[in-house]
Structure 1
């Protein structure tokens, strides 16, 4: 298997496992802590933060462990990589997140596909997605451009875990996983009608994060390597 195929497979598997962690831990939280939304959110956030950090470590040397279309697009623009990368990574990330959500449903004996009915709308939630995504981009690429990519796994995991609580939207910060969450009518789900505005807010956040990185870190201290990340 050549490097391109391995990278595509890495993005698919990593995205699938990330979605399985997010959706699966949400289902488990609902069942373990019925009636306690705060505890459910903590359980979901804790599992996601740990799982994301592990997945970055596992797949960083295979594909850069993006698992997120925004991260891939910022990486391409910031480091002048060929746009053909997006044609490989983005479909793998989206397909992986859908597959992971379906897998999580099946692991908890739920229907394989159940369209989410959870409405997530209003400007506070969309503003939260802008903030969450911009912050994620800033965390990742501040490390990449200062030669500290080895810290991406714990830093990104910690950031996403914290952002579950400091943003009103619980920090999806990832168009691919937003799409995947539509396929599960559970704690972590989002209705299809709510998903498109979320994705729009995430793209705006990605552009804002890119601008902040360019302003704060105009040149890379060490040779740029594929960024390691995503979200929730």
Structure 2
């Protein structure tokens, strides 16, 4: 039985809040313990983020689908698995949840609650990296949902863990995460002025992956059936 919309929205808000609390909090913790070694700080940030994604998808997947990401919600809207109103509400609570999670991390580490990031993340290479990161994330979800649905939590967690290290942007791959991270001037931050280009690249990546994998994963015979219907 599918939970009602209110419960699904609550799940999306809670899940995204926990995600951002971990992303921002582990960045603060990693940087404070790394003694100036950025690689060690990033490694701590990476492991925590990948691990919590698997946990959160296991918890909230049966409730809301565990999107926690407007780019993923856009993909499901394109596939006809969400109505426009539902998708808009998902995105709204994801953004609000992300901001709440960022504030929670600040509070836990006695950081000023209200901050604006000054961390530069810009340029064509970074934007392309966000396109690649989001394309791969959506591809991971669509492929696993089709063939190994039970593997989605682990596949997404592992993909993001890898994405931190193989992309120039450290794989934000999520507009809600990007917005929240623009309001933390800590290890995981991004300047607000840099966020719109990241978000645009993420959305383009999600659309591209949905189109490519919509074709790639089409059931056998569907093209022939469509041709017959057209005739």
**TM-score normalised to structure 2 length:** 0.92
Pairing 1:188–2:188 present: yes
Map of 2:199 onto structure 1: 199
Map of 2:224 onto structure 1: none
State how many pairs are aligned.
218
Map of 2:37 onto structure 1: 36
Deviations 1:104-153 (A, max 9, x none): 0110000011111001001111010000000000000111123x211100
1: distance between equivalents of 2:134 and 2:102? 21
Structure 1, unpaired ranges of 5+: 221-232
Q: Is the 8 A contact 2:16 2:98 kept in 1?
A: yes
4+ residue segments displaced more than 3 Å: none
2: distance between equivalents of 1:72 and 1:137? 10
Q: Is the 8 A contact 1:119 1:193 kept in 2?
A: no
Shift of residue 28 of structure 1? Answer: 0.3
1: distance between equivalents of 2:45 and 2:81? 36
Q: How does 1:1-232 map to 2 (within 5 A)?
A: 3-146=4-147, 148-219=148-219
Shift of residue 80 of structure 1? Answer: 4.7
SS in 1 for 2:184: coil
1: distance between equivalents of 2:83 and 2:218? 20
Q: Which has the larger radius of gyration?
A: 2
1: distance between equivalents of 2:41 and 2:124? 24
* Structure 1 vs Structure 2 CA RMSD: 1.2
Shift of residue 87 of structure 1? Answer: 2.1
* More RCO (CA 8 Å, sep 6+): 1
SS in 1 for 2:106: helix
1: distance between equivalents of 2:81 and 2:34? 47
